Amino acid sequence: MCKLILINGTVITLDENNRIIEDGAVLIEEGKIVKIGLSSDLLVKCKKDVVEIIDADGGIILPGFINAHSHLYSAFARGMPLVGELPTNFLEILQEIWWKLDLALNEDDVYYSALISAVDAVKAGTTTIIDHHASPNFCMNSLKIISEALSKIGLRGCLSYEVSDRNGKDSALEGIDENIRHIEWCNNNKNPLISASFGLHASFTLSDDTLKLCTEKERKFKTGFHIHLAEGKIDVNDSKKKYGKSVVSRLKERGILSEKTIAAHCIHLNENDLNILYSTKTNVVHNPRSNMNNAVGVAPIIEMFDMGIRPGLGTDGMGMDMTKEVYTSWLLQNHRKVKPFSFSPDEAYQMLTYNNAKIASKYFPLKLGSMEVGNAADIIILDYKPTTPINSNNLFSHLLFGSETASVKDTIINGKIVMRDAKITTINELEVIKKTKNLASKLWKRLYLGKD
């Protein structure tokens, strides 16, 4: 039985042929796409069986966006006061902001920061996230709590816990156990919305002994790893000083790099590093707004494209709006080269669409990121009505520049309507906001006053 039909929109399939269907429609049943075609044809064929009809009213119907590297727990940092002297480099940013924040998180903080970040994702048209979590003083079952929050909203998420030696051996072992617990939970429960990777912080906070233990544990499950790589020069310099080799070479030798591993950032790399990432088929994820915010440098994305690496795109905790991220990535690479058209809108959007889809589809049973029969029904409707001709040749220019004024009208994940007419359907958003304001206020007091 056909349960849901989206009609009267420009359907952007993002399939191999990049089909665009004017006045198109999409039929959804049991979480999957079952038919794609013209609105008039599909309405006639399935009208009796349709439970609900969503009229795109001439807007864009396209696959939901994917965030390939996020930090849900960063939600309570928004507006957080900074006390004392401001950080002057990347390590100080970690030490004075993020590592203090993650140590202060409790169970409620973890749940509600995930919940409100999931709301932000849905409102921005982001239907899948690959998240990297840290809360050392609430580690055990933290990924379970996040899973519950995402499931409450209806957001699809691949979760991992960042293992690090920075808080001592016991904390690192807890992080390893939390990854394993979540992986086993996913394997046993087969929740279509929740999957797992194995999280690692970064090379410079991980000893050889810890990496060895992680690879031994991961080998049983073959989930791959999710790690920050060469985000700041500290990561590169630490590896050279301690191990006499580049950070990429070290991670390859330790068995971390593979076709299921996500390496976020990848900024400070030489040619040999790039060759290793290419040969190991490691999934690079670019995070331009975060990199600019932390002043850590610019990833060599153009060079990656030239040699066959196909990086994805993430926000690294800078919200959930992937249209802002892709727009920034396009501007940044042209600015870096000081040459217009060095990086095209097509290449920028390839990171967000095809590349992110390829990465995320490795972690879920159904194919993501394109509208094809049998694929996951993760679909958004943009309130964007092209005022000039749109075709497969100029599609990404339309999306790049049109996104400045476009808004997400409807969000469907796993065949379920989670936002309708820009209103979240699965929770009372205002009640959640009241709760998050209260929790964030208490968190900030703990951070700076040592009390609730």
65-360 fold: TIM Barrel (3.20.20)
For the segment 101-121, the average pLDDT, to the nearest whole number, is: 98
Q: Which residues of 46-58 are buried (b: 16+ CB within 10 A; e: fewer)?
A: beeebeeebebee
Tell which phi-psi region holds residue 116, choosing left (phi > 0), alpha (psi between -120 and 50) or beta.
alpha
332-363, pLDDT tens digit by residue? 999 999 999 999 999 999 999 999 999 999 99
409-436 residue pLDDT tens: 999 999 999 999 999 999 999 999 999 9
Count of residues in the chain: 452
- Helix (H), strand (E), coil (C) string for the chain: CCCEEEEEEEEECCCCCCCEEEEEEEEEECCEEEEEEEHHHHHHHHCCCCCEEEECCCCEEEECEEEEEECHHHHHHCCCCCCCCCCCCHHHHHHHHHHHHHHHCCHHHHHHHHHHHHHHHHHCCEEEEEEEECCHHHCCCHHHHHHHHHHHHCCEEEEEECECCCCCHHHHHHHHHHHHHHHHHHHHHCCCCEEECEEEEEHHHCCHHHHHHHHHHHCCCCCCEEEEECCCHHHHHHHHHHHCCCHHHHHHHCCCCCCCCEEEECCCCCHHHHHHHHHHCCEEEECHHHHHHHCCCCCCHHHHHHHCCCCEECCCCCCCCHHHHHHHHHHHHHHHHCCCCCCCHHHHHHHHHHHHHHHHCCCCCCCCCCCCCCCECCEEEECCCCCCCCCCCCHHHHHHHHCCCCCEEEEEECCEEEEECCEECCCCHHHHHHHHHHHHHHHHHHHHHCCC
Give the per-residue pLDDT at 422.
Answer: 97
Residue 155 predicted with pLDDT over 60: yes
Q: What is the pLDDT of residue 2?
A: 57
- CB distance 68 to 361 below 8 Å: no
4-64+371-421 and 65-360: identical CATH topology: no
Break the chain into its structural domains and give their ranges: 4-64+371-421, 65-360
CA distance 392 to 90: 41
User: Does this model's pTM top 0.85?
Assistant: yes
Predicted confidence band of residue 14 (pLDDT cuts 50, 70, 90): very high
Whether the predicted pLDDT of 1 surpasses 60: no
| pLDDT for residue 170 | 98
* Gyration radius from the chain CA atoms: 22
Confidence band (pLDDT; 50, 70, 90) for 452?
A: low
**Contact assessment for residue 315 and residue 290, using Cβ atoms and an 8 Å cutoff:** yes
Token readout for 18 is: 């990049």
Supply the pLDDT for residue 140. Answer: 98
* DSSP collapsed to 3 states, 69-120: EECHHHHHHCCCCCCCCCCCCHHHHHHHHHHHHHHHCCHHHHHHHHHHHHHH
Report the chain's mean pLDDT, rounded to a whole number.
95
Exposed / middle / buried, residue 120 (Cβ in 10 Å: 0-12, 13-18, 19+): middle
Phi and psi at 276, nearest 5°, equal -65, -45
Say whether domain 4-64+371-421 belongs to CATH 3.90.550.10.
no
Average pLDDT over residues 188-195: 96
Band (46; pLDDT cuts 50, 70, 90): confident
pLDDT of residue 450: 64
pLDDT for the residue 316: 98
Q: Tell me the C-alpha distance between 362 and 378, whole Å.
A: 16
> Are the beta carbons of 25 and 36 closer than 8 angstroms?
yes
> How would you classify the pairing of strands 52-55 and 4-12?
parallel
- CA 149, distance to chain mean position in Å, is 16
pLDDT digits over 63-82, tens only? Answer: 999 999 999 999 999 999 88
Does residue 104 carry a pLDDT above 90? yes
* Pairing state between β 283-286 and 312-313: parallel
More confident residue, 450 or 258: 258
Which positions ≥6 away from 306 have C-beta within 8 Å? Answer: none
**pLDDT (mean) for 181-203:** 97
